[in-house]
Amino acid sequence: MAVHAHPDDESSKGAATTARYAAEGVDVLVVTCTGGERGSFLNPSCPRPPGPVDMATVRAREMARARRILGVRQTWLGYRDSGLPEHGEPLPAGCFARADPGAATGRLVRLIRRFRPHVVTTYDEDGGYPHPDHVMAHRIAVAAFEAAGDGGAHPGAGPPWQPLKLYYNHGSHPERSAALHRALLRRGSTAPYAPLPCEPVRRPDITTRVPCAAWFPVRDRALRAHVSQVDPDGVWFAVPTPLQQEVWPTEDYTLARSLVPVALPEDDLFAGVTTAGAGRPPVMAGM
C-alpha cells in the first residue's frame, strides 16, 4: 500500500517500484488522500478549457489513466486538497491538513484492514517536502500502521491486520541529484540538471534501494498522464531516461519500522516478509 497526498504523487514518488512489483504479481493499492481540487493547469501545453472547471473531475480522470499505466489499484481517502498557502495564509476550512488526525487515521486503518498489506510506503516526517497535505499523509500513515493491528483501536474499522514494514519514499534526494548533475556535465550538457524546487535539502538515511530502471519508462508515461499538472518538456524530464537508468537505476527508501528481521542495506521492500511466513494478501473486491 502506497499512501500519497494528491493525484500525481503516485507517479512521481516510487512509481517505478510499484510498477515493477505489480508486474511481478504483487497486489498494489495506492491510497490518494485528497482529490487535488486546489490544483490548477500547470502544463502550458494543456490549455485550460473555457468556462468553469471541476478540477476534482479532471484530476480523477488523470489518476485513472496513471493507475492503469502503472498496473496498480487506487482508492481515495476522501479529503479535500489543502493547497499550498503562501505568505502565512491560513489553510482553507475543511481541507485535509485541518482534518481531525484521529478520524483520518481511522479511515486509513479501515483500508489497511480491508486490503491487508504487508508493506506500507509514505513520506517522511517532512512530507518529502513541506506541503501540509504531505505532512498530514505522513502523520496518519504512521499512526495507522501502528493502530491497524490493535484490536482495541478503531474497533469499527474491521478485523485487525498488522502490516510488517513501513517505508518512507524519497522521490529524489541530494545524493541522486548531484549524481545526475555530474553525469550531465560529463556529457557536455548545455542544461545541467537543476533539482526541482520541491526537492529536499536534507540528506535522508537511505536503507533500501530498489532496482527498477526497466520501469522508468512506465513511470514517465504515468506521470505524463497527469496532463493538467505535468509539462512533458519541463523539469520532471530534464534528464533523459536512459541516463537515469545508467546513473541511478534505483528508487530509494528509508525503512522506518519493521516487525520482521532485516539486514540493511536492502534491495527489496519485501525482504524478510516471506521468511516471516506471510503469504500474499488476498485480492479484495471493490477497492
Order of strands across the sheet with 208-211?
73-79, 29-34, 2-4, 119-122, 165-170, 250-258, 208-211
> What local confidence, expressed as pLDDT, does residue 88 receive?
75
Q: Give the number of other Cβ atoms within 10 Å of residue 208's Cβ.
A: 24
User: Residue ranges per domain, the chain?
Assistant: 2-276
> With pLDDT > 90 as the criterion, what percentage of the chain qualifies?
78
How many angstroms separate the first and last alpha carbons of the chain? 12
Least confident interval from 5-9, 82-86, 178-182, 266-270: 82-86
pTM: 0.93
Is the confidence at residue 28, as pLDDT, over 90? Answer: yes
Architecture of the 2-276 domain: 3-Layer(aba) Sandwich (3.40)
286: pLDDT confidence band, cut at 50, 70 and 90? very low
Q: Helix or strand or coil: residue 61?
A: helix
Which tens digit of pLDDT belongs to each residue from 223-261? Answer: 999 999 999 988 889 899 999 999 999 999 999 999 999
CA neighbours within 13 Å on the CB side: how many for 268? Answer: 11
pLDDT at 87: 66
pLDDT score of 178 more than 60: yes
pLDDT at residue 276, rounded to an integer: 60
Is residue 203 predicted with pLDDT exceeding 90? no
Is 278 exposed, middle or buried (CB count within 10 Å of its CB: 0-12, 13-18, 19+)?
middle
Confidence at residue 284, expressed as pLDDT on a 0 to 100 scale: 38
Q: Which residue has the cell 493502530?
A: 147
Burial category of 41 from C-beta neighbours within 10 Å (exposed 0-12, middle 13-18, buried 19 and up):
middle
**Binding-site positions for Zn(2+):** 6, 9, 134
Block residue for cell numbers 484490536: 151
* Contact criterion met (CB below 8 Å) for 49 and 228: no
Percent of the chain with pLDDT over 70: 95
Mean pLDDT of 152-164: 97
Binding-site entries: 6, 9, 134
So what's the pLDDT on residue 283?
A: 37
Helix (H) or strand (E) holding 30: strand 29-34
Q: How confident is the model at residue 275 (pLDDT cuts 50, 70, 90)?
A: low
- Of 180 and 48, the one with more pLDDT: 180
**Per-residue pLDDT, 144:** 98
Q: Quote the pLDDT of residue 84.
A: 87
Would you say residue 197 has pLDDT above 80?
no
65 or 85: whose pLDDT is higher?
A: 65
pLDDT higher than 60, residue 164 = yes
The average pLDDT across 113-131 equals: 94
